[in-house]
Chain A
Amino acid sequence: MDTAAIILSAELASLTTAILLVVGLPIAYWLVRSRWRLKFLVEAVVALPLVLPPTVLGFYLLVGLGPHSPAGRAYQAVVGEPFPFSFGGLLLASVLYSLPFAVQPFTAALAGVDRRLVEAAHTLGVSRASTFLWVTLPLAWPGVLAGAVLTFAHTLGEFGVVLMVGGNIPGRTRTLSVAIFDHVEALEYGAAHRTAGLLLAVSFLVLALVYALQRRPFLRWNDR
């Protein structure tokens, strides 16, 4: 089995999930709370990766952050390596491509928290940040967990964007899904079976875990 690809995929999926927890929760919070008239534009941008072919996202990222563009030179100055065919580039592309898979469940979960519980905390003198930490997040966490797991599973299975942005460099940008493609191209069906089977099993288990966790009554304070 392709150990390097497994490690790389796991690394990419974990980091993408961690980054989207940090970035996605504030975006979701803003989407829930904001009364800005043009909010729908932001919502549309967040949802774009759901409908765009990954090649479109990959193409624009390559053009926009390639070594010949000003943004690409700025990227290289900050990160230390060029955007295309690097793990960093892959990570950025994954974060963007998985954005709706994190933000949409987060938004639904945060919106499901009774507004009055938050307001009660404010009148009790508790700051907005503490209220988010001690009221909103604990009550929304089944949905936040679902978003995180979806992001993880989705990144594991990502193919198009990886190929466009990362290429196929073993140990650097060759993820599991790309490895499967290689095996099939080379008619190595046995190797393809092992890798594809692993991905299928992991994805199924992860999703089953999420649904099982959400059925547990102790996670659903709001229902009682």
Chain B
Amino acid sequence: MKTVLIIDDNPVITNIYRGKLSAGGLHTEIASNGEEGLEMVDRCKPDVVLLDLMLPKVNGMDVLKRIRARAEYKTLPVVVFSNSYSTDVMQQAWGFGATEVLHKSSTTPQNVVLALVRAIANSTVASTPAETQRVAAEAPSSPENQMATLLQRLATGEVAAASADFVRLVRAGVPNDLFPEPVVKLFAALEVLVAAADQMTEGPERDLFHDSIRAVSRVTRTLASRRSAVEDTANSPQSQQR
């Protein structure tokens, strides 16, 4: 049975995820502060870590850095699950090697479980972005797999193909909460941008156009940082050896 280590000091959150993961056939271990979390990574040898950022004793960002500093845990999937509203904090998490970054208020428990299962599956069968993409392409095309493909295309700059994936998923009636927030914001902003450009004259339309450009710029910076994280992983000496 695969083991998930949850590092979170909030008993309500850990209670919910212990139940959800158990129902999904996963064993759960819980650490209620960063120091205990680091000890348990060594002791329990988890298959994936679900990590909060605001933690007593050692904060989550330091836990992530210390995990990634150890050669044996370079590829251990770490899903950051934060309540932070700062884009900088989320980008930092990507930069320090998070496998996935989820926002507590905009992610349903079901999607957290899916992200954990996906992280375990990817770490088991694929260790480079190219292999991850191949596995996603070969797997049955569930909405989750299609979403993984869409994100991979965005991360590698295949915007046109990602747009087509997005339209297909929306038409297939995939629930909105399956789309990561940056993707939804990006495509919503692009839609407004195109509509505004078509009708642009002097006045409010031009303001809307400029607001939309700023929104797209913010979201693409987030996605660019994600792309850098993917490229860093691909270019790391460990990946090169594989």
Are A and B part of the same complex?
Answer: no
